[in-house]
Structure 1
């Protein structure tokens, strides 16, 4: 009787653990577009924060960056030659040398190119 009860408890724990792992692995992805920005910052100041090792607190956070578009690629723009923002949707008609505000998730700093990277970006203005 005691072995049967121990076996049932073990099976129950395995089922509950499996359910928790399944829910964790297949949870909904973040919708950066609907999240509110946790910080509004200019592109040069954002780069300066990462260069002085003060940018780690911004990783994986939703931020709004303002700056002037210096280059446009397919699916991405560069602001002030210091922030690379990749869009998850079609980029609206943009041209170089206009000031914009972009909201996205900060994914890190590329030390080789000295550029901060954002993904899942949307154009604010």
Structure 2
């Protein structure tokens, strides 16, 4: 009887460890290789968020989207930019050569959240679309 309990316990621990290791070390998403789920402007994001933030979150959060807008700020320290003063973007790599304040840009990335304090959307893993 004790052997049976020990075998079951070892089996349960092995399964739990396997699930944990898979969840912790699964490959990351490659946003640059994904097709965008939505193509929107920053203004559209603001309008939809203002109408119904719950529906907005279900629709856009953690999704790959394309956004077109005008560069407001370049943040070299964070490897990012701000588009239309409302979308904070962090890039995968350094793409600063082709970006300038006041220039129109189209990017693809993962929408993370809306920051109520700064009143801006957050996007990461972005890349410039030419």
Structure 1 runs of 4+ with >2 Å offset: none
Alignment: residue pair count: 124
Normalised TM-score (structure 1) = 0.89
Pick aligned residue for 1:96 from 96, 101, 121: 101
Q: Of 82, 89, 111, which residue of structure 2 is paired with 1:78?
A: 82
1:91-124 superposed Cα distances (whole Å, 9 cap, x missing partner):
2321122211111111111112221110111001
What is the aligned partner in structure 2 of residue 62 from structure 1?
64
How does 1:1-125 map onto structure 2 within 5 Å?
2-52=1-51, 53=53, 54-57=55-58, 58-74=60-76, 75-93=79-97, 94-125=99-130
* TM-score, structure 2 as length reference: 0.86
Gap regions ≥5 residues in structure 2: none
Q: Which has the higher helix share?
A: 2
**CA distance, structure 2, for counterparts of residue 28 and residue 80 of structure 1:** 33
- Give the conservation status (yes or no) of the 8 Å contact 1:71–1:79: yes
